[in-house]
Structures are given as structure tokens and as C-alpha cells.
């Protein structure tokens, strides 16, 4: 008998054993294995098992379900974050209502089995219901002491609000009556039942919430009350019956009474919710693989809605918006968890609990301190108080704004809880983006008077035109408009619209409402809970501070202060200072990769430098020709008939380019500057309008007809694979000559002005597929450059390198490396040409690829490590032995994507280059890669 290595899922040992002449593979729980082997009985156990299953080749003794008391925080992969932390809290002796976790592997199995829970898993679930009944002393459907449970999702990485939850499961007509009688609190019992029917119908059977909400609203109207809590037991009973009738009307069957049936359906629904559209979008945005699956937690209910000595809350050990150290959160009396998150009622500040629930509050504060010290991070907790007694329902490392993340990480280092390296590793680089987003211009802000103030739910400033629905936010954004999404409250379906908006303003909801939590996660500015707004969503208008606002009106909101302003307030860019600067300093200390920027203009270069760029990795020279009257000279060059005509046009462009390059060198203060020679298809620059065509004809002394003929001759069927890149330098060497002169002359001038700077221009030839192409272009460059340097009597050094962006370049990198001082991976084109997907059109079908689970990510955003990455590795492995000094970087979009940066670190690149605002992200991601791969 032998077993293989411990699986990456903790606790499992895959192995093989022989019995009765046959070989069986198995997966045994590690504990079981150890127990069995130490007792010397493993072989015997397995022999017996083998005898029973002779006709089954692969017998898997998988454990699909764990009691909270069986797990711990290290089992997050298997139990999901929530399950692992419930287990950990149980182990710490904290007051956790007990239950069990169905593993993430059961979810994966559910999908493998064609979206069914197989017999083996069902049997284990039933077994664990029995165990739970024993532990709690309650029984499903019992007429004495019935067990009610919550069923919650819990993936490895937390995905707040993305998947489904069902509370109060186990109720039926009999049980509700038992509870009403035993508790002496029929209002509570019926409240639970109507909530359960509503949630089960919505989550499990997909009967929309709105039907039930309409019934509640009608009931409140009939009874002349405004709050749910004002409805009586009889009202709620009547509502429950109305709900059941609604269910039957929609589903065509009675509402299920059997708690086990309810549970199995609820578990399936949670598994299904792993694949719902909003979860898929969230995963894509947050780099969470589909293959992880979600666990399901079945937990005995603690009731916050049993009366005024009960309640429920959500709290953070530090402020998730600012990072300030201190308890932060909200509490609602006589309510269940969903009420806080849904923002149906506006909750009280957690500190007010101290008066209402002194003992529970004191205990809660102690728990907070234990948990924060234990996890060494800010905790986000859900809890319930039932008749004054505290129950912990969840803890996790809290989601936080980027600003808060930086402060918390620095504070934890100062408090001695974390090392610098750990602090660097704690911060999600993607969130830094939000800190680099604009803030309101101070001078304009001083002059502005807020129209209202609400909760500062997610920082940053936003200014845009008002829209009232997520769909409108999306479509206006697609048209290039800036919008502020104004809603009564948001729900998970709104995620894409929220992403498209500059900012989000909600009428209802607290700091932990959906809008607040999701906006913080996305780094979008959000102001929530502005109850002063009189909203009319249907007619797309609202009134605030005496003014009526309509769709398209301008509004400015400040997610850091909660202020709302009428009209436009200009915004300004942020800078790196304070804690941001401190973390960046640490990141720079630990990273190995250099971080450069892709910058085409001096102002981009300056910005990038401020954000820490250590050079320019890519200057796309063609982008320099769009401004002002430069395009005229460029068009003359394209539409030249003869070399002489072309050279005359190039002569006009030379000083323009030279002066731009000088400014780039100045902005980079002696750091390396890589200038890529002309790359795009020329037809992109030809004149389109009659006016421009006439202008060109006049300047060239040609007829409009002749210009039309030239334009036609430039047409290509596949411009991306057409006359671009090095092919231009091959057909028109005079272009490369002019660009070389501009680069070298600029460098000589700047070197003269700054003798202490290390000016060494890097000339990059794009789109090489064959070493002879590079040789040809390089000859032009070297002859021109050397002549310029000699003429100026300078000792300027320069490098000539190439982009690796055609698969053939990667495959023949050994030959190419002989002539290249550096390689820079152009992974935009390399991805395009490796997949054969047009980088301009792939968006049209990628959505279908996501839906059909062919792709989880856009390969133009996140590097395809298996394919494109393999080509990169191949190019390095072929190129380096030939030219050990070969300097290698990346300048495709992936250079600013954290997971791609990690890959670049692993394969040994020297630098990544990305757009200016992604420079800090790349710096941090590079440090994290170095720390993780130490
Ligand atoms: C690339 O192809 O990755 C690249 C950086 O060049 P461009 O995007 O300009 O084609
Ligand atoms: Mg390219």
C-alpha cells in the first residue's frame, strides 16, 4: 500500500492500495490515515472495504462535510473562508452557533455530476444533520425543540453579496406554531416564516423578491404603518400565507414543508449561485478561478428578531473607509442580518449598543480584540444578540478602501503585529488605482456649498451626469459620458452599472449596505444613505435641498466626506504621500523587477516619474503625430509618391520629434528611455474628410483624385498583419533614418545639458519576425546614429533592441538575440498573434467565451501564461545563452496587471512597463511577487 504526496487540499492523502489482486486508488482523510496506520489497521480496513467494492475500480473515501469543530483557519481552500473562520472561532472557544460546512470540492463535484448532489454527498449531509441535532439538542421539524438553520455560501476568497444566503430554514406550518407557542412570541415566529418563504422563493426557486415586497408594502399600507417591525403577529401570519399562495401561483406546487428537502434545495441553490452572472463578473474582476467552487455553511440560527432585547450587527475592528483604529459598524435591534446589509432600515452606530446591550457589547469588544490579534488583521464580523446573548456568525479579513488598506498595514507594522514584508503583501495592488483617481480641486471645493451630506461610504471624488439605472450607467458610459448613478439602493444585479459610474449615490443604506461594500471593493466613490432625497426612480427624477434633479443633470459627490454638490466641481489627480509613500518605499525595497512606463508625451512621462517610474519602456512614436498641424506633415510623408517627396516631409517631422524626445529625456531625468520606431499601419493616418483631403492635395501639389488613389492604394484587408512595424523600416528606410536622427540628436543635446545624467537611448524596432529584418533595420539605425554621433563629436552610447511580439520572433529568439541589445515583449500583439484573435474585435465574442467557460479572463488583460507565457519563456531561454547581457522587459498591457507581473518576475524579466497610473500597482505587485517567491 502506498500513498502519494499530500494533496494541496489540506487533509487528503491520495493513494493506491492492492487488495485481492486488484489495484484501488483512493483518497483518504489524513487524520483517518494517520489514525488507521498508527493503529496498524489501515490495511485491514481497506481490505474490508475493497471486498465490498470489488466491482468499483476507483473508490473515493472523500470527506465532503465537516463540523465546525473539525476544521480550522488553514482549511480555507476546502471549507471556504467563512467555513474555515467559523471553525477557527469555534476552536478559539468563541460563541458560535454550531453547524457544518459542505466543502468547495462538493461544489465542484456538483458541477461535475451535472448539477446534482450525488448520493454519497447527500448521505454525508444527512449524517451531519444528525450530528448537528445532537450538538444543538434541537431537531429538524421537531414539535418540541425544532432546529432552524441558515445556509450560506463561502468561497475561498470572500465575494461579498455575490452569492446566496437563506435564513430560518426548517420552518413549516407545524414548526412555526411550535415556535410561536414555546417562545410566547408569535410575532417573531411568523416573522421568521415569512422571511424564510421570501428568501427560499427568491434564492432557491427564483421567484423575484419584488412580488413579496409588493405584498409587504401593501400590508403596511393597509395597516397604516411604515416599518416592517410595526406589523403584528397576525399581519405576519397573513403575509406568510399570502407568500405561500404567491409561491404556488408562480411555481405551481405547494411550498415545501420537509426541512431536509428545503435544506437540500437550498444547498443546491448556493452551489448554483457560484455560477450566477454577477459572481462570474466579480470573479473575473478579482482574479478568482471558477474552479475553486464555493463551500456551503449550515449553521444553527441565532435570532436577532425575537424582540427588543435582540438584534444583529455588522462591525469592523477598524474603519474600513479610513483605516482608523477603533470599532466601526452598525447594529439594528429586533432584526435579522439581511436587514442591515439590505439597507431596508437605517441602523444605529455600533457604539450605541453599549447602552442597550451592555453585557453583549462588552463581550463583543473582547471578541473583536481576540480576533484581530489572532488574525493580525482588521476583522469584519457579523453577529447576533439573542435575548442579550452574543453569537458570532462570521469573521473575515475586512474589505477596505485602498486608503484604509495602507493605513491599516502601516499601523499593524507600528503596532508590532506585522513585518514590512507582510504589510506589503497585505495590499491588493489593484485597489491602489482608486488612490490615483481624481479628488476635487481644492480651490473649487472651498467655493462650493454642499447641497446635502450623507455617509462617506467609499472615498474619492466623482462628478458626472445623473442616471437612475445600472443599464443607463452602462450605456451612457459606453458613449463616453461620465455618470453618477443615483438609486434608492443598489442590489447585486447592478454591479456592471456601478462599475461604469464615476460615483454612486444611494438614498437608503448604511456603511455596510450593498452599495457601500461593493463600491469600496471596486474603488468607486460612493455616498450612501442620503435620506434627504425624495426619489422618483420611475420618472427619473429626485428632489434634494429644494431642487428637482433630472437625468443628465450634473452632480458632484465626495465619497471621503459624504458631501453632495449640485453641478460640476473640477477634479485633480492624487499624489503618493503619507502611508502610500511608506508602503511604496517598502515595496521598492523588496522588489526585483524594475518598473518603467509606457509614455508618449512629456506630460505622461512626468506623471509616471512622479508615480515612481524608473524609465520609459515604450514610447509609441506614432502617437506623437496626432496633435495640431503635425498630422499634416505626417500625411505628406505617407502620401508621398517618391523617396524625395517622402524625405522632404520627413525633414519637417524631424525637429518636431527631436524636441519631443528631448522633453521625454528631461522628464525621465537620466533614467532609460526606450523609443519605439513607427509601428502602426499607415492608413490609420490618411485624411478622411473632404476638407483634409483637399488640404493635403494643395500642399502636395496634387489633385484630390490623386490623393484618393493614394488612399485606396494604402488600403489593406488585414492592417494589423499588414504594412506596419519593421516592415515600414524595410520599405521606407528613410523613416527609420529620420527617427534615428531625432533620437540621437535629442540625446546629445540633453546629455550636454545634464552631463551627470546617464543618457543612453534605447531604440526599439517593432514587429520583428525574422532576424534578417532586424539586421536590415539595425544597419540603417547604426549607420545613421554613428554618423550623427561622430558629427557632433559626442561619445553617446545607444542600444538597439526589438520587440518580441510575433510568435516567430519568440521561436527564433536565439538568432534575433545576436543583433539585439534588449528584448521587450509586446504582449498585446503577441497575444493577438498567438491566439489569432484580433485585439480590436475580440471583445465581440469573449463574452460568449466567458459564458461557456472557455475563458475565465480576457487574455489581453491577464497574460495567458500557458500559451503566450510559454513563448516568452522560450524567447528568454533561447536569447540569453546567445547574448547573456540581453536586457528583457514587457510593455504590453499586461505589464500593469498584478498576476502577469508576478509571472514576469518568475520568468526572470528585468522590467515591466505600463501606463503611468499603473506604475504604483506594478511596483507593489513586483514586490509581492518577490516576497511570495523568496
Ligand atoms: C504590444 O504589442 O504589446 C505593444 C506594446 O505594442 P502596441 O500595443 O503598440 O502594438
Ligand atoms: Mg505591438
Ligand 1 centre to CA of 234 (Å) is 68
Concatenating the DSSP letter of every residue in 605-668 gives HHHHHHTT--SEEEEEGGGGGSSTTHHHHHHHHHT-SSHHHHHHHHHHHHHHHHHHHHHHHHHH
What's the confidence (pLDDT) of residue 344?
63
| Phi and psi angles of residue 300, each rounded to the nearest 5 degrees, phi first | -60, 135
What is the rounded distance in angstroms from the CA atom of residue 383 to the CA atom of residue 378? 16
In a domain, 690, yes or no: no
What's the confidence (pLDDT) of residue 282?
86
More confident residue, 25 or 311: 311
Which of 829, 859, 863 to mutate to test ligand 1, by most ligand atoms within 8 A of the CB atom?
A: 829
In a domain, 765, yes or no: yes
Q: What is the pTM of this model?
A: 0.80
What is the rounded distance in angstroms from the CA atom of residue 510 to the CA atom of residue 455? 7
Which of the 8 DSSP states describes residue 70?
A: G
Which of 600, 727, 803 to mutate to test ligand 1, by most ligand atoms within 8 A of the CB atom?
A: 803
More confident residue, 137 or 561: 137
Q: Are strands 99-102 and 65-67 parallel, antiparallel or unpaired?
A: antiparallel
pLDDT in tens, 602-623: 888 998 999 999 999 999 998 7
Pair 493, 381 in one domain: no
Task: Tell how far CA 690 is from the center of its chain.
Answer: 46
The region, left, alpha or beta by phi > 0 then psi within -120 to 50, assigned to residue 224 is left
Range with the poorest average pLDDT among 68-72, 157-161, 617-621:
157-161
| CB-based burial label for 548 (10 Å; 0-12, 13-18, 19+) | exposed
What is the rounded distance in angstroms from the CA atom of residue 227 to the CA atom of residue 339? 12
Q: Output the residue whose Cα is nearest ligand 1's atom 3.
A: 826
pLDDT for 28 beyond 60 = no
Neighbours of 836 (CB within 10 A): 6
State whether the beta carbon of 891 lies less than 6 angstroms from ligand 1: yes
Q: What share of the chain is helix, strand, coil (3-state, %, to 5)?
A: 50, 20, 30
In a domain, 790, yes or no: yes
More confident residue, 77 or 720: 77
Pair 638, 744 in one domain: yes
State whether the beta carbon of 839 lies less than 6 angstroms from ligand 1: no
Domain count, the chain: 4
| Phi and psi angles of residue 533, each rounded to the nearest 5 degrees, phi first | -80, 130
In a domain, 357, yes or no: yes
Concatenating the DSSP letter of every residue in 557-581 gives EETTT-EEEES---EE-----HHHH
Helix 578-590 × helix 919-932 angle, to 10°: 50
What is the rounded distance in angstroms from the CA atom of residue 632 to the CA atom of residue 132? 79
Q: What is the mean pLDDT of residues 510-516?
A: 73
Pair 634, 728 in one domain: yes
The domain spanning residue 602 has which CATH number?
Answer: 3.20.20.60
Q: Output the residue whose Cα is nearest ligand 1's atom 4.
A: 826
Ligand 2 centre to CA of 720 (Å) is 9
What's the confidence (pLDDT) of residue 489?
86
What's the confidence (pLDDT) of residue 725?
96
What is the rounded distance in angstroms from the CA atom of residue 293 to the CA atom of residue 80? 9
State whether the beta carbon of 864 lies less than 6 angstroms from ligand 1: no
Domain-ending residue, one of 400, 428, 463: 400
pLDDT for 53 beyond 50 = no
What is the rounded distance in angstroms from the CA atom of residue 323 to the CA atom of residue 68? 31
Residue 620 among known ligand-binding residues: yes
pLDDT band at 436 (very low <50, low <70, confident <90, very high): confident
Residue 90 among known ligand-binding residues: no
Which residues are within 8 A (CB) of 237 and not within 5 positions of it... i.e. 6 or more apart? 186, 190
More confident residue, 197 or 861: 197
H or E element, residue 275: none
pLDDT for 148 beyond 90 = yes
Q: Which atom of ligand 1 is nearest to the CA of 891?
A: 5
Compute the mean pLDDT over every residue in the chain, rounded to the nearest whole number: 89
In a domain, 497, yes or no: yes
Q: Which atom of ligand 1 is nearest to the CA of 620?
A: 9
The domain spanning residue 318 has which CATH number?
Answer: 3.30.470.20
In a domain, 276, yes or no: no
* CA-based R_g, the chain, Å: 32
156, 469, 576, 724 from 613: Cα distances, Å: 34, 39, 13, 29
State whether the beta carbon of 679 lies less than 6 angstroms from ligand 1: yes
280, 356, 749, 847, 855 from 852: Cα distances, Å: 11, 52, 57, 9, 8
The domain spanning residue 541 has which CATH number?
Answer: 3.50.30.10
From the CA of 828, the nearest ligand is 1
Pair 891, 783 in one domain: yes
Q: 192, 147 in Cβ contact below 8 A?
A: no
Known catalytic residue at 368: no
pLDDT band at 519 (very low <50, low <70, confident <90, very high): confident
Range with the poorest average pLDDT among 155-164, 578-587, 588-597, 648-657:
155-164
Q: What is the mean pLDDT of residues 20-31?
A: 48
State whether the beta carbon of 829 lies less than 6 angstroms from ligand 1: yes
State whether the beta carbon of 892 lies less than 6 angstroms from ligand 1: yes
Q: What is the mean pLDDT of residues 759-768?
A: 98
Q: Which atom of ligand 1 is nearest to the CA of 766?
A: 6
What's the confidence (pLDDT) of residue 4?
37
- The grid coordinates listed for 685 are 493616418
Q: Which atom of ligand 1 is nearest to the CA of 829?
A: 2
**Which of 42, 526, 891, 904 is the catalytic position?**
891
Ligand 1 centre to CA of 732 (Å) is 21
pLDDT band at 277 (very low <50, low <70, confident <90, very high): confident
Overall size of the chain counted in residues: 934
Residue 494 among known ligand-binding residues: no
**Which of 514, 887, 894, 905 is the catalytic position?**
514
Q: What is the mean pLDDT of residues 465-493?
A: 92
pLDDT in tens, 764-818: 999 999 999 999 999 999 999 999 999 999 999 999 999 999 999 999 999 999 9
What is the rounded distance in angstroms from the CA atom of residue 549 to the CA atom of residue 556? 13
What's the confidence (pLDDT) of residue 628?
63
In a domain, 415, yes or no: no
pLDDT band at 419 (very low <50, low <70, confident <90, very high): very high
pLDDT band at 229 (very low <50, low <70, confident <90, very high): confident
What's the confidence (pLDDT) of residue 29?
47
What's the confidence (pLDDT) of residue 511?
67
Pair 749, 869 in one domain: yes
Range with the poorest average pLDDT among 11-25, 411-425, 782-796:
11-25
Known catalytic residue at 891: yes
| CB-based burial label for 809 (10 Å; 0-12, 13-18, 19+) | buried
Pair 465, 596 in one domain: no
Q: Which atom of ligand 1 is nearest to the CA of 824?
A: 5
More confident residue, 442 or 767: 767
Q: Which atom of ligand 1 is nearest to the CA of 826?
A: 3
What is the rounded distance in angstroms from the CA atom of residue 855 to the CA atom of residue 278? 16
Domain extent for 766: 591-681+716-932
H or E element, residue 481: none
The 8 Å CB, 24+ separation contacts for 197-202 are 197/240, 197/243, 197/244, 197/247, 197/255, 198/243, 199/165, 199/166, 199/167, 199/168, 199/338, 200/166, 200/169, 200/255, 200/262, 200/265, 200/266, 201/243, 201/246, 201/247, 201/250, 201/251, 201/255
Pair 665, 742 in one domain: yes
Q: 784, 744 in Cβ contact below 8 A?
A: yes
Pair 485, 340 in one domain: no
In a domain, 260, yes or no: no
**In the block, residue with C-alpha cell 499601523:** 411
Q: Output the residue whose Cα is nearest ligand 1's atom 1.
A: 826
pLDDT for 450 beyond 50 = yes
State whether the beta carbon of 618 lies less than 6 angstroms from ligand 1: yes
Q: What is the mean pLDDT of residues 874-888?
A: 98
What's the confidence (pLDDT) of residue 39?
38
Pair 860, 817 in one domain: yes
Ligand 2 centre to CA of 868 (Å) is 14
| CB-based burial label for 619 (10 Å; 0-12, 13-18, 19+) | buried
Question: In three state form, how does the secondary structure of 166-231 look?
Answer: EEEECCCHHHHHHHHHHHCCHHHHHHHHHHHHHHHHHHHCCCCHHHHHHHHHHHHHHHCCCCHHHC
Pair 457, 545 in one domain: yes
pLDDT in tens, 343-360: 667 788 999 999 989 999
Which of 620, 681, 830, 831 to mutate to test ligand 1, by most ligand atoms within 8 A of the CB atom?
A: 620
Q: What is the mean pLDDT of residues 292-313?
A: 93
pLDDT band at 917 (very low <50, low <70, confident <90, very high): confident
What is the rounded distance in angstroms from the CA atom of residue 653 to the CA atom of residue 639? 14
Ligand 1 centre to CA of 828 (Å) is 5
Ligand 1 centre to CA of 297 (Å) is 47
Pair 458, 521 in one domain: yes
What is the rounded distance in angstroms from the CA atom of residue 669 to the CA atom of residue 661? 12
State whether the beta carbon of 411 lies less than 6 angstroms from ligand 1: no
pLDDT for 5 beyond 70 = no
Q: What is the mean pLDDT of residues 593-600?
A: 94
Pair 628, 528 in one domain: no
Amino acid at each position: 500500500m502506498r500513498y502519494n504526496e499530500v494533496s494541496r487540499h489540506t487533509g487528503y492523502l491520495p493513494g493506491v492500495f492492492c487488495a485481492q489482486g486488484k489495484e484501488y486508488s483512493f483518497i483518504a482523510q489524513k487524520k483517518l490515515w494517520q489514525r488507521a496506520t498508527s493503529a496498524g489497521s489501515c490495511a485491514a480496513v481497506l481490505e474490508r472495504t475493497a471486498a465490498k467494492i470489488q466491482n468499483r475500480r476507483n473508490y473515493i473515501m472523500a470527506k465532503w462535510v465537516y463540523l465546525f469543530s473539525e476544521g480550522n483557519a488553514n482549511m480555507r481552500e476546502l471549507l471556504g473562508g467563512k467555513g474555515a473562520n467559523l471553525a477557527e472561532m469555534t476552536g478559539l472557544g468563541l460563541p458560535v452557533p454550531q453547524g457544518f460546512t459542505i466543502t468547495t470540492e462538493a461544489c465542484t463535484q456538483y458541477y461535475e455530476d451535472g448539477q446534482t448532489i450525488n448520493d454519497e454527498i447527500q448521505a454525508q449531509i444527512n449524517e451531519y444533520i444528525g450530528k448537528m441535532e445532537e450538538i444543538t439538542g434541537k431537531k429538524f421539524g421537531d414539535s418540541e425543540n425544532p432546529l432552524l438553520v441558515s445556509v450560506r455560501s463561502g468561497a475561498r476568497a470572500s465575494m461579498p453579496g455575490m452569492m446566496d444566503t437563506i435564513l430560518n430554514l426548517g420552518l413549516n406550518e407545524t414548526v412555526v406554531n411550535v415556535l410561536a407557542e414555546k417562545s410566547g412570541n408569535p410575532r417573531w415566529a411568523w416573522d421568521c416564516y415569512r422571511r424564510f418563504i421570501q428568501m427560499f422563493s427568491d434564492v432557491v426557486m427564483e421567484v423575484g423578491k419584488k412580488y413579496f415586497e409588493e405584498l409587504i408594502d401593501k400590508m403596511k399600507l393597509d395597516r397604516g404603518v411604515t416599518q416592517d417591525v410595526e406589523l403584528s403577529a397576525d399581519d405576519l401570519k397573513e403575509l406568510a400565507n399570502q407568500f405561500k399562495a404567491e409561491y404556488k401561483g408562480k411555481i405551481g406546487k405547494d411550498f415545501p414543508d420537509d426541512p431536509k428537502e428545503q435544506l437540500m434545495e437550498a444547498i443546491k441553490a448556493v452551489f448554483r449561485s457560484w455560477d450566477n452572472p454577477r459572481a462570474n463578473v466579480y470573479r473575473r474582476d478579482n482574479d478568482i478561478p471558477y474552479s475553486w467552487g464555493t463551500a456551503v455553511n449550515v449553521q444553527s440560527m441565532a435570532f436577532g428578531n425575537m424582540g427588543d432585547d435582540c438584534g444583529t450587527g455588522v462591525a469592523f475592528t477598524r474603519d474600513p473607509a479610513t483605516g482608523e483604529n477603533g470599532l466601526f459598524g452598525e447594529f439594528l435591534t429586533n432584526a435579522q442580518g439581511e436587514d442591515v446589509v439590505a439597507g431596508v432600515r437605517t441602523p444605529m452606530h455600533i457604539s450605541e449598543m453599549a447602552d442597550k446591550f451592555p453585557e453583549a457589547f462588552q463581550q463583543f469588544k473582547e471578541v473583536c480584540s481576540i480576533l484581530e490579534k489572532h488574525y493580525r488583521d482588521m476583522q469584519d464580523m457579523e453577529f447576533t444578540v439573542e435575548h442579550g446573548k452574543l453569537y458570532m456568525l462570521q469573521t473575515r479579513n475586512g474589505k477596505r478602501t485602498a486608503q484604509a488598506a495602507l493605513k491599516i498595514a502601516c499601523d499593524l507594522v507600528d503596532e508590532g503585529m506585522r513585518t514590512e514584508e507582510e504589510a506589503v503583501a497585505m495590499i491588493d495592488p489593484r485597489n491602489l488605482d482608486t488612490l490615483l483617481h481624481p479628488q476635487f480641486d481644492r480651490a473649487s471645493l472651498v467655493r462650493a456649498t454642499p447641497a446635502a451630506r450623507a455617509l462617506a461610504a467609499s472615498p474619492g471624488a466623482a462628478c458626472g451626469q445623473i442616471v437612475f439605472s445600472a443599464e443607463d450607467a452602462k450605456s451612457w458610459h459606453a458613449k463616453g459620458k461620465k455618470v453618477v448613478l443615483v438609486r434608492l439602493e443598489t442590489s447585486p444585479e447592478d454591479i456592471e452599472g456601478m462599475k461604469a459610474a464615476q460615483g454612486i449615490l444611494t438614498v437608503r443604506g448604511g456603511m455596510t449596505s450593498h452599495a457601500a461594500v461593493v463600491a469600496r471593493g471596486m474603488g468607486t466613490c460612493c455616498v450612501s444613505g442620503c435620506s434627504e432625497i425624495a426619489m422618483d426612480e420611475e420618472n427619473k427624477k429626485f428632489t434634494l435641498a429644494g431642487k428637482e434633479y433630472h437625468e443628465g443633470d450634473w452632480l458632484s459627490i465626495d465619497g471621503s466626506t459624504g458631501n453632495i454638490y449640485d453641478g460640476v466641481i473640477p477634479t485633480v489627480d492624487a499624489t503618493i504621500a503619507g502611508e502610500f509613500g511608506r508602503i511604496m518605499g517598502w515595496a521598492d525595497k523588496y522588489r526585483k523587477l524594475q518598473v518603467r512606463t509606457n509614455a508618449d508625451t512629456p506630460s505622461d512621462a512626468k506623471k509616471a516619474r512622479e508615480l515612481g517610474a524608473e524609465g520609459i519602456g515604450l514610447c509609441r512614436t506614432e502617437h506623437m503625430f496626432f496633435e495640431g498641424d503635425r498630422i499634416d506633415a505626417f500625411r505628406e510623408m505617407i502620401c508621398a509618391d517618391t523617396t524625395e517627396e517622402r524625405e522632404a516631409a520627413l525633414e519637417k517631422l524631424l525637429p518636431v520629434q527631436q524636441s519631443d524626445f528631448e522633453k521625454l529625456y528631461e522628464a525621465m531625468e537620466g533614467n532609460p528611455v526606450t523609443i519605439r520606431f513607427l509601428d502602426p499601419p499607415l492608413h490609420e493616418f490618411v485624411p478622411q474628410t473632404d476638407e483634409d483631403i483637399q488640404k493635403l492635395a494643395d500642399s502636395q501639389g496634387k489633385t484630390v483624385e490623386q490623393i484618393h488613389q493614394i488612399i485606396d492604394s494604402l488600403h489593406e484587408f488585414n492592417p494589423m498583419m499588414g504594412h506596419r512595424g519593421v516592415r515600414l523600416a524595410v520599405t521606407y528606410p528613410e523613416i527609420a533614418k529620420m527617427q534615428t536622427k531625432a533620437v540621437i540628436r535629442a540625446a546629445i543635446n540633453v546629455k550636454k545639458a545634464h552631463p551627470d545624467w546617464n543618457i543612453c537611448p534605447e531604440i526599439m524596432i517593432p514587429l520583428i519576425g525574422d532576424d534578417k529584418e532586424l539586421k536590415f533595420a539595425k544597419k540603417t539605425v547604426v549607420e545613421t546614429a554613428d554618423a550623427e554621433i561622430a558629427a557632433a563629436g559626442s561619445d553617446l552610447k545607444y542600444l538597439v533592441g526589438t520587440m518580441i511580439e510575433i510568435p516567430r520572433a519568440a521561436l527564433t529568439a536565439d538568432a534575433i538575440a545576436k543583433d539585439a541589445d534588449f528584448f521587450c515583449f509586446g504582449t498585446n500583439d503577441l497575444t493577438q498573434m498567438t491566439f489569432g484573435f484580433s485585439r480590436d474585435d475580440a471583445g465581440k465574442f469573449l463574452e460568449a467565451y466567458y459564458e461557456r467557460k472557455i475563458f475565465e479572463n480576457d487574455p489581453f488583460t491577464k497574460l495567458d501564461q500557458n500559451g503566450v507565457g510559454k513563448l516568452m519563456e522560450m524567447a528568454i531561454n533561447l536569447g540569453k545563452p546567445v547574448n547573456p547581457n540581453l536586457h528583457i522587459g514587457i510593455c504590453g498591457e499586461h505589464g500593469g496587471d498584478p498576476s502577469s507581473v508576478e509571472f514576469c518576475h518568475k520568468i526572470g524579466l528585468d522590467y515591466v512597463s505600463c501606463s503611468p497610473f499603473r506604475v504604483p500597482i506594478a511596483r507593489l505587485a513586483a514586490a509581492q511577487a518577490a516576497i511570495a517567491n523568496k
